[in-house]
Structure 1
Amino acid sequence: MTDLSERKAFNANIVDEFRANSGKVGGPFENATLLLLTTTGAKSGRQRISPLAYFSIDGRILIAGSNAGGDVHPAWVHNLRAEPRAHVEVGTTAYDVIARELPSAERDELYPKVAEISPVFAEYQAKTSRVIPLFELQKA
C-alpha cells in the first residue's frame, strides 16, 4: 500500500470485518491473532483505531511496531509514546490498557519469540535499519 488513504481504507475494512465476525478476519490475516488498538492521536488528540497482530508470550500481550518493515514507526507507536493509555478489542472482549514499551534488553530477549510465532516479523526487522519496538499491553 503506497498512500495513506489506501492504508486507511484497508484498515477500516479490517476493523469492520473484525467487529462483524467476533474478531475473525480473512484475507492476509486469516488465522492471525488480531486485536484492535484504539490510541489517542499524539498531535490531533483524536481516537485512532489500528488492527494489529498480537502475541501472547509468557502470559503477556505484546504488539510490534513493525510497519511491515518500513523505515518509520507506525503512527500508533508515536501515539502510545505520547499517551500510553489505550483501549483494545480482542475477539468480543474490550478493555482499557496501559502500554509499556519494552526496554532494549527485554525487547531483544522477546523479539525472537515473536519471530518464531510469526516468521514474517523476522523479515520485517531484516528490511529496516530501525529497531522494531515491542509494547506490552497491561489491563488498566
Structure 2
Amino acid sequence: MVSAIELHGDPHVARYIETDGEEGFHWRNGTEILILFTTGRKSGEERSHALIFREYEGAYLVVASKGGAAAPPAWFVNLSANPQVEVQIKGDRFPATARVATAEEKPAMWAKMVEAWPDYDEYQTKTDREIPIVVLDRN
C-alpha cells in the first residue's frame, strides 16, 4: 500500500474519500489536504482535486499554482466559470462558493499559504501570471 504522503492526483482523491480523510488529509511536510469538487466547464461532469489548504478567518484557502506553470490549473478555470463548488475536509463534505482573493486580502493570505507550503514563492518566480489565492466560503 502507498503511504499517504506519497499519494498524488486521482489515487489521493480516491483514498481520501474512501477513508474520510483518514488517509490523505495529512500529507507532505505537515500539510493538510481538502478535496475540491468543481463542475467541468465543458463536460458538466464533477471533477475532484486534492489540494493543500489553510483555514483563514472562517474560510478555506487554496492556491491555483500548478507548480508555476504558465497556464492555471483546470480546476481554477472550472471554478472561474462556475464558483459553486463542494469541499470535503476529512468526512465533512459541504457546498461552498469560490472567489479569488482581492489585492487587499492576498498578501496576508499568501503568507499563510507559504507558511504551509514554502514552494509557492518559488512557483510564483517561474511564471508571469499572478498565482491566485482562492477563497472557499462555506454556504
Q: In which range does the TM-score fall when normalised by the shorter chain?
A: 0.7 to 0.9
Give the Å deviation of 1:30: 6.5
Q: Percent identity?
A: 30
TM-score relative to the length of structure 2: 0.83
1:95-114 → structure 2 map (5 Å cutoff): 95-114=94-113
1:28-107 → structure 2 map (5 Å cutoff): 29=28, 31-107=30-106
- Cα distance in 1 for residues equivalent to 2:60 and 2:25: 22
**Structural RMSD (CA):** 2.0
1:13 counterpart = 2:11: yes
Query: Is the deviation greater in 121-130 or in 78-87?
Result: 121-130
Give the Å deviation of 1:127: 1.7
Q: Which has the higher helix share?
A: 1
TM-score relative to the length of structure 1: 0.83
Q: Go from structure 1 to structure 2 and tell me whether the alpha carbon gap of 1:46 and 1:26 turns closer, same or farther (over 3 Å shift).
A: closer
Aligned to 2:104, the other structure's residue is in SS state: helix
Q: 1:46-103, CA deviations, whole angstroms, 9 ceiling, x for partnerless residues? A: 1111111111123321111010111110011111111000111111111011111112
- Unmatched tracts of structure 2, length 5 or more: 1-7
The equivalent of 2:130 in structure 1 is 131
Runs of 4+ aligned structure 1 residues displaced above 3 Å come to: 26-31
Query: Is the deviation greater in 127-136 or in 109-118?
Result: 109-118
